[in-house]
């Protein structure tokens, strides 16, 4: 529920702080403090006075962090970072910071009002953020809480969308002589929608967490939506650790985002910090290349060169030709080049063929021609056919026999064995018992003919399949 000034009047309203800043009105309120519009009583200059909340004024670590914000912003001294002019205490004992007054709106307000921005507008804003953070990193200061609420857009010198980076309250100072251990190891600080994977895991961080946060902001400017968001705080952190967002062109196809710019965004959002841009300067150069040629064919080379621009247009020669060349001149040149290549290949092949013939048959050849042996045909023996005899075939002796195919057995060819290699065995004399047995089996011509079968009613219907009609004489 919003607190109205009428029911709960602000105790600092119309008060003079530290004898020189008169409070005029409240501009906004955050988790750590309240921002007022104030005026210097002597020089009549308007300033923004950020006052620490009274409930937090007794916590020494928050006062130290408040003071660190003032020191960090004052140390950087860049045009795209808010200028800090003073630091002190209010009559109630709360710490305050005096900074330049900015007449404009933060980036979050612009995104809420208008949604996604055209990439022509988003590019200059992102480049200015890169330059501001590049100056901060050179001073050993990592922002750690970069988000649209901490990016202010103003108009300066007739130039719209002039960037001012705010709120270095949880900035990390890594300069040896200014390092202050204000954060316990493993503590998660920042806004989850813009938090890098290593920051979400509570690991040791470096300046590349700002690269990741800027990638999230640029993604939101191009699509109107943050790249990843879960149902709650922990789900959002888990998404940043394990889920890769969809490319901006898939989230906002109608925006016509150049492929080169999309490659810059996706490289800044890499899960592994080693795969992101090494410095803010490197990312700024990649964005500037997209700004110079947003519609040209561009490809991002991730490991080494951030953006490789390939310009299709070639410089036109300064010497004007005497006669205008036809439009199809290049086609004829291409056809002529192909004919030359094919002709050369034919000539080389013909020379190789003739040289091989001269070497094989010429009289002056150093080596005699090689006689080719005639190919010996390989004789494959035909398979033997064995006819299976049936009980009824005895009466068909001397007649042509026709057998169905099902009773023809194809036997493999017999292997010839040299008789000389086999040992000769002695032939035993016939026994007395075997001699009379031979007489019991007369030869076929001495056997009696089988009785003829009587013809019945089925005469002519059931024919012997093994008989054939004799051809007429």
The residues assigned a catalytic role are 145
Among candidates 134, 237, 141, which has minimal Cα distance to 191? 237
Q: What is the CA radius of gyration of the chain?
A: 51
Instruction: Return d(Cα 459, Cα 348) in angstroms, integer.
Output: 84
Distance from C-alpha of 362 to C-alpha of 359, rounded to nearest angstrom: 6
Distances in whole angstroms, Cα of residue 453 to Cα of each of 161, 166, 314, 465: 122, 124, 108, 16
Q: Is 308 exposed, middle or buried (0-12, 13-18, 19+ CB in 10 A)?
A: middle
* Residue 298 phi, psi dihedral angles, 5° rounding: -135, 145
Burial (CB < 10 A; 0-12, 13-18, 19+), residue 88, is middle
Of 77, 103, 89, 107, nearest in space to 194 by CA = 107
Cα–Cα nearest to 148, from 188, 187, 174, 116: 116
Q: How far apart are CA 107 and CA 147, in angstroms?
A: 9
3-state secondary structure (DSSP) of residue 212: helix
Which of 294, 298, 271, 156 lies closest to 211 in space, CA to CA? 271
- Least Cα distance to 287 among 107, 130, 134, 79 occurs for 130
* Phi and psi, residue 51, nearest 5°: -110, 130
| Chain Cα centroid distance, residue 346 | 45
Q: Are 48 and 38 in contact (CB under 8 A)?
A: yes
- Alpha carbon distance 219, 245 (integer Å): 10
Instruction: At 257, list the tokens.
Output: 């985002």
Cα torsion 297, 302, 307, 313: sign = negative
Residue 443's CB: how many other CB atoms inside 10 A?
6
Tokens of 344: 């050369």
Q: What DSSP state is assigned to residue 182? A: -
Pair 312, 321: CB distance under 8 Å: no
């Amino acid at each position: 529920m919003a607190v109205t000034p009428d029911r709960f009047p602000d105790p600092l309203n119309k008060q003079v702080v530290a004898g020189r800043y008169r409070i005029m009105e409240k501009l906004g309120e955050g988790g750590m403090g309240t921002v007022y519009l104030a005026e210097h009583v002597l020089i009549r200059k308007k300033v923004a006075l950020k006052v620490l909340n009274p409930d937090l004024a007794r916590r020494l670590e928050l006062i130290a962090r408040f003071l660190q914000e003032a020191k960090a912003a004052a140390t950087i001294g860049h045009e795209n970072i808010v200028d800090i002019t003073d630091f002190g205490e209010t009559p109630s004992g709360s710490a305050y910071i005096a900074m330049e007054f900015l007449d404009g709106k933060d980036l979050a307000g612009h995104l809420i009002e208008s949604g996604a921005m055209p990439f022509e507008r988003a590019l200059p804003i992102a480049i200015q953020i890169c330059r501001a953070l590049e100056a901060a990193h050179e001073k050993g200061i990592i922002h750690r809480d970069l988000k649209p609420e901490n990016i202010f857009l103003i108009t300066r010198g007739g130039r719209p969308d002039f960037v001012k980076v705010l709120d270095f309250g949880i900035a990390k100072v890594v300069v040896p002589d200014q390092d202050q251990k204000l954060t316990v190891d493993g503590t998660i600080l920042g806004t989850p929608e813009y938090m890098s994977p290593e920051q979400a895991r509570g690991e040791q961080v470096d300046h590349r967490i700002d690269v990741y946060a800027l990638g999230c902001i640029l993604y939101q400017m191009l699509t109107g939506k943050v790249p990843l968001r879960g149902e709650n705080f922990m789900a959002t952190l888990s998404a940043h650790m394990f889920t890769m967002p969809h490319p901006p062109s898939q989230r906002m196809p109608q925006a016509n985002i150049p492929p080169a710019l999309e490659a810059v965004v996706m490289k800044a959002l890499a899960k592994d910090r080693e795969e992101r841009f090494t410095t803010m300067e490197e990312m700024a150069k990649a964005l500037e290349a997209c700004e110079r040629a947003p519609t040209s064919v561009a490809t991002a080379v991730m490991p080494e060169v951030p953006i490789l621009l390939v310009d299709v247009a070639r410089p036109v020669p300064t010497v004007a030709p005497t006669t205008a060349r036809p439009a199809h001149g290049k086609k004829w040149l291409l056809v002529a080049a192909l004919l030359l290549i094919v002709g050369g290949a034919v000539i080389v092949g013909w020379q190789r063929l003739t040289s091989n013939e001269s070497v094989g048959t010429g009289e002056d050849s150093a080596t005699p021609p090689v006689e080719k042996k005639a190919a010996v045909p390989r004789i494959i023996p035909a398979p033997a056919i064995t006819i299976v005899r049936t009980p009824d075939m005895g009466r068909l002796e001397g007649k042509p026999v026709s057998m169905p195919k099902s009773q023809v057995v194809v036997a493999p060819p017999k292997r010839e064995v040299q008789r000389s290699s086999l040992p000769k065995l002695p032939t035993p004399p016939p026994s007395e018992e075997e001699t009379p047995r031979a007489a019991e089996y007369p030869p076929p011509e001495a056997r009696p003919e089988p009785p003829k079968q009587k013809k019945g009613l089925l005469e002519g219907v059931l024919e012997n399949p093994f008989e054939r009609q004799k051809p007429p004489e």
